Amino acid sequence: MLDFTNDYNEGAHPRILERITETNMEQLPGYGYDRYSDSAKEKIRQACACPDADVWFLVGGTQTNQTVIDAITPSYAGVVSAASGHVSVHEAGAIEATGHKVLTLPSPNGKINAADLEQYCADFYADGNHEHMVYPSTVYVSQPSEYGTLYSKAELTAIAETAHKYNMQLFLDGARLCYGLTAEGNDLTLEDIARIVDVFYIGGTKVGALFGEAVVFTKHNSPAHFTTQIKRHGALLAKGWLLGLQFDTLFTDQLYTRIARNANDKADQIRAALRAKGYSIAYENTTNQIFVIMDQPTIERLSENVRMGFLEKYDKAHSVMRICTSWATTQEHTDQLIALL
């Protein structure tokens, strides 16, 4: 059975396991105060061309979104997100669990835009009743978005400008960031992102690590006592060096770039095959998530040999299915899938 359900179905890049094994019996301080974490932070700062950045490591994406948003958003304020944003839909209320409302904007193709954000804020502050409403304080975007689409440098810059105009911070969820960085047509580098946004994270769980997300506060702007805040969310890993080691490996010799490109290459092949065979794409993109419209008989036929994800009903007879490649997707599996389509 082929599995194209998601990009976290395999373990880690072998080099990561080698290093965990090599260092297994070293005695290291806990909670991220180890030399591997220090080294990984320095490599990330360099990759971002951002010497002032504060780098932190957490275990998973929802945990990171919850911890960061809670830390940078005043207790009475909320976070603006695409209606389709992960924090809005698929985190089981983790943001609200910390007392913050998720304020949603329409999200064609999974993205918000500066004009909608501007209108939202202008309406909010124009309305004499806004004292009884939730102040927008943080703006959340995902790159790539939940539909695999990408913000351009111009789009992200405009969102940041609007955010800052209204005294909001811009937080970028990069759970799949490396698949965006290496996608065809992308014009946003890691350096750009570090310059434009206030805080973002580089996902490891979906791009070659066993687990782990590297949070970057780009202007030396870590929240006060952030280690304590991480601990309070139950998010402080005792053996923190496991996170440091993984990111140190990914950011050595640009491993993260190389393995991310593999996912996009395989996705490009599948996309080309889908088009050639007359399938329609629901959300056009160039990253590792393909959202394809399939009729029910096709879904049933394929399901005998391939696992895919279900996104949503398209109409009575069709659904939007997700085919997801990853750093680990092999050419052999890709060829088999294409043959089956």
Q: Please say which residue, 70 or 268, places its beta carbon nearer to a copy of itself.
A: 70
**Look-up of token digits 């304590």:** 228
CA distance 89 to 68: 17
Give the ranges where the chain is alpha helix by DSSP (H). 14-22, 35-47, 61-72, 86-89, 114-126, 153-165, 177-181, 190-196, 226-232, 241-250, 255-276, 296-302, 331-340
> Residue 294, SS3?
strand
Give, as ranges, the residues between 226 and 245 that touch a copy of itself (CB under 8 A).
227-229, 231-239, 242
Give, as ranges, the residues between 138 and 197 that touch a copy of itself (CB under 8 A).
none
Among 38, 39, 89, 161, binds a copy of itself (CB under 8 A): 89
Q: Is residue 263 near a copy of itself by the rule CB under 8 A?
A: no
Q: Please say which residue, 64 or 286, places its beta carbon nearer to a copy of itself.
A: 64
Among 46, 93, 115, 275, binds a copy of itself (CB under 8 A): 93
Q: Please say which residue, 55 or 68, places its beta carbon nearer to a copy of itself.
A: 68
Among 45, 48, 53, 67, binds a copy of itself (CB under 8 A): 67
Structure tokens at 84: 């389709």
Give, as ranges, the residues between 19 and 38 that touch a copy of itself (CB under 8 A).
20-21, 23-31
Give, as ranges, the residues between 96 and 135 that touch a copy of itself (CB under 8 A).
96-102, 123, 127-129, 131-135
Q: Please say which residue, 86 or 271, places its beta carbon nearer to a copy of itself.
A: 86
Instruction: Considering only the stretches 39-47, 70-78, 259-267, 288-296, report the one whose residues sit in contact with a copy of itself under the rule CB under 8 A.
Output: 70-78
Structure tokens at 87: 């924090």
Instruction: Considering only the stretches 9-17, 194-202, 250-258, 293-301, report the one whose residues sit in contact with a copy of itself under the rule CB under 8 A.
Output: 9-17
How big is the CA angle at 56 (ends 50 and 57), to the nearest 5 degrees? 130
Q: How far is CA 152 from CA 110, 128, 149, 180, 191, in A?
A: 13, 35, 10, 10, 14
CA distance 187 to 181: 8
CA distance 107 to 132: 25
Q: Is residue 278 near a copy of itself by the rule CB under 8 A?
A: no
